[in-house]
Amino acid sequence: MQKEIQKRVDAGEMLPLMEAFYTIQGEGYHKGTAAYFVRIGGCDVGCHWCDIKESWNAKLHPPTETKKIVTNASRYSNTVVVTGGEPLTWDMGPLTSQFKEKGMQVHIETSGAYKLTGVWDWICLSPKKIKLPQAEIYKVAHELKVIVFNKDDFKFAEEQAAKVPEDCILYLQPEWSNRDKMIPLMVDYVMQNPKWKVSLQTHKYLNIP
């Protein structure tokens, strides 16, 4: 039975679901809009400041039928955001095709560290120094979101921005625990480099998931 389940997980027919919930998108271009979030377990990128480290170990999260995930999501919203963990650890093709069959708008938040699978209406690429994105995903990113933990991240942000299309929207977002220190620097940076926008984790200010 375990081998059969693992086979289905590898094929994207089941996924290690950490949690799923209906809320308000708190970050980036679609902030302030209602969306159903599907958080997939499994990530080996290992950002030291990650605030969802419990998502890293996929074995902690039960393999769930993609059909069940889609059915639950469609009860709440026309927009679904697939996040993690790192969702591209898994084959996103079966999940997204079922979402699209229901006419839903499908977004992903990803580090881009793994091959892009699935069909997406919006790709938020949030690259990490530890494990850089695959070359192919830069070309299709709608939104680039760079987390700013220290001053060196401004240089990293520019390096990443040079790889995305001109119409990709560029965001700098302070790492939550260091926000009081970095926000003034970000404000100055964006004023001097207005191609960038500031993104804040507004859901944390609103005290919602």
Residue 207 gets the label, from left (phi > 0), alpha (psi -120 to 50) or beta, of: left
pLDDT reported for residue 51 = 83
Residue with tokens 């991240």: 153
Residue 138, number of CB atoms within 10 A of its CB: 20
* SS3 per residue for 160-187: HHCCCCCCCEEEEEECHHHHHHHHHHHH
Whether 106 and 87 have beta carbons less than 8 Å apart is answered as no
| Residue-wise burial string across 93-106, b where 16 or more C-beta atoms lie within 10 A, e elsewhere | ebbbebbbeeebbb
pLDDT reported for residue 48 = 86
What are the structural domain ranges in the chain? 2-206
pLDDT reported for residue 2 = 86
Cβ-based neighbours of 46, under 8 Å, separated by 6 or more: 56, 130, 131
Whether 40 and 82 have beta carbons less than 8 Å apart is answered as yes
Residue with tokens 């919006």: 122
Encoded tokens for 165? 């299309």
Please give the torsion angle defined by the CA atoms of residues 153, 158, 163 and 168, in that order, rounded to the nearest 10 degrees. Answer: 100
pTM of the entire predicted model? 0.96
Three-state secondary-structure class, residue 81: strand
Question: Angle formed by the axes of helices 93-101 and 66-74, to 10°?
Answer: 30
pLDDT reported for residue 1 = 57
pLDDT reported for residue 196 = 98
pLDDT reported for residue 49 = 83
Encoded tokens for 104? 């839903």
Encoded tokens for 94? 């079966």
The per-residue pLDDT string of the chain (209 residues; one tens digit each, 9 = 90 and over) reads 588 999 999 999 999 999 999 999 999 999 999 999 999 999 999 898 898 899 999 999 999 999 999 999 999 999 999 999 999 999 999 999 999 999 999 999 999 999 999 999 999 999 999 999 999 999 999 999 999 999 999 999 999 999 999 999 999 999 999 999 999 999 999 999 999 999 999 999 999 99
Q: Please, what CATH class does the domain formed by 2-206 belong to? A: alpha beta
Encoded tokens for 189? 């940076």
